[in-house]
Amino acid sequence: MIRLKSFQGANPVRYLWLAIFTAIVLLPFYWLLKSAVSTPEQLFALPPVHLPTPTLSNFNALVEQVPFYRYLLNSLIFATATSIVSVVVGFLAAYAFARITFPGSEFLLWLLLLSMSLPEIATVIPLYQILSKLSLLDSLAGLTLVMGSVLVPFSVWMLIAFIKQVPYEIEEAARIDGASLPRILWKIVVPVTWPALATMGIINFVNAWNNLLYPLAFSVTPRSKTLSVAITEIFVAQTPWGKPWNLVSALGVAMVIPVIILVIFANKAIVQGLTRGAVK
């Protein structure tokens, strides 16, 4: 049984600094939530209203101004598909680099990693031309293809180290027993590296969920626009107080909630993967 250490003899200054640090980290989330449930009068009141009377009017106005549910569905499809594609392709590429040695493999790996240093804005024009020729503009498939390819190098870099930790002797024994390569990957390598795959899936999901540049550049109609694009559409509106920060805050809360839910459930999956036991 795991026992918590006693707080006797603990340094109170350390806990004071931890409390201050926690308050600083949580302050933006508090302000975002407060702004999302405040009326414009409460939001711009002087002195500031720190505990406003909660209201859902901002969320109702958000749904009326933009096709919120369509954008939400697009974001979920886009982020989920991108996460799956990037992790699957990254895993297969990482396995090839970790297990197969050929002339120029080291150079090819570094060239792949070097592509991560390319600014996203520098790739918009060539990617636009490619998607146009493939008739994938203004489509979730085109966005997934672009964002998935952007996230593959980072996925490869992270997964190679985990794949190298899998004893190669186990794979050799499986081959002697007649197991094919797909069966070895599915039955041996994937279960051992599952915590890393789950973590990469979360990271890639969040990156795709928050991405603004590619949906803004390659989406024209609501059929492929995501929630991040809705921010640019909300800013077009003007209020007596300037920009509609209350609606922007409501949209921010709507974008944060799915990520929090994902992390909570995925955290359980990662812990289960880490405690499965030794490789047999």
Is residue 203 situated within a structural domain? yes
Using pLDDT thresholds of 50, 70 and 90, give the confidence band for residue 240: low
Residue 123 token pair: 């790739």
Q: Output 157 or 44, whichever has higher pLDDT.
A: 157
Is residue 235 situated within a structural domain? yes
Q: How many CA atoms lie within 13 A of 24 on its CB side?
A: 6
Task: Check pLDDT > 70 for residue 280.
Answer: no
Task: Check pLDDT > 90 for residue 128.
Answer: yes
Look over the chain and give the mean of its residue pLDDT values, rounded to a whole number: 86
Q: Output 241 or 23, whichever has higher pLDDT.
A: 23
pLDDT (0 to 100) of residue 279: 43
Q: Nearest 10 degrees: CA dihedral of 248, 65, 212, 258?
A: 70
Phi (first) and psi of residue 209, to 5 degrees = -60, -40
For the ranges 7-16, 77-86, 91-100, 139-148, the lowest mean pLDDT is seen at: 7-16
Task: Check pLDDT > 60 for residue 155.
Answer: yes
Region 190-215: mean pLDDT is 91
pLDDT (0 to 100) of residue 57: 87
200: nearest Cα among 149, 270, 109: 270
pLDDT (0 to 100) of residue 9: 52
Q: Output 259 or 147, whichever has higher pLDDT.
A: 147
Region 105-122: mean pLDDT is 88
pLDDT (0 to 100) of residue 233: 87
Is residue 83 situated within a structural domain? yes
Task: Check pLDDT > 50 for residue 143.
Answer: yes
pLDDT (0 to 100) of residue 10: 57
Region 6-29: mean pLDDT is 80
Region 20-41: mean pLDDT is 88
pLDDT (0 to 100) of residue 162: 87
Using pLDDT thresholds of 50, 70 and 90, give the confidence band for residue 272: low
Task: Check pLDDT > 80 for residue 65.
Answer: yes
Question: In which domain, by residue range, is 172 found?
Answer: 58-274
Q: Provide the percentage of residues in the chain whose pLDDT is more than 90.
A: 38
pLDDT (0 to 100) of residue 239: 63
Q: Considering the entire predicted model, what is its pTM?
A: 0.85
Cα distances from 276 to residues 55, 114, 194, 199, 210, in angstroms, run 46, 35, 10, 16, 32
Query: Which stretch, 62-66, 90-94, 192-196, 247-251, has highest mean pLDDT?
Result: 90-94
Using pLDDT thresholds of 50, 70 and 90, give the confidence band for residue 277: very low
pLDDT (0 to 100) of residue 218: 95
Is residue 25 situated within a structural domain? no
Distance between CA atoms of 154 and 40, rounded to whole angstroms? 42
Is residue 14 situated within a structural domain? no
Is residue 3 situated within a structural domain? no
Region 96-120: mean pLDDT is 87
Is residue 79 situated within a structural domain? yes
pLDDT (0 to 100) of residue 270: 59
Indicate which CATH number applies to the domain containing 154. 1.10.3720.10
Task: Check pLDDT > 70 for residue 71.
Answer: yes
In the chain, the number of structural domains is: 1
Is residue 194 situated within a structural domain? yes
Residue 57's identity, in one-letter code, is: S
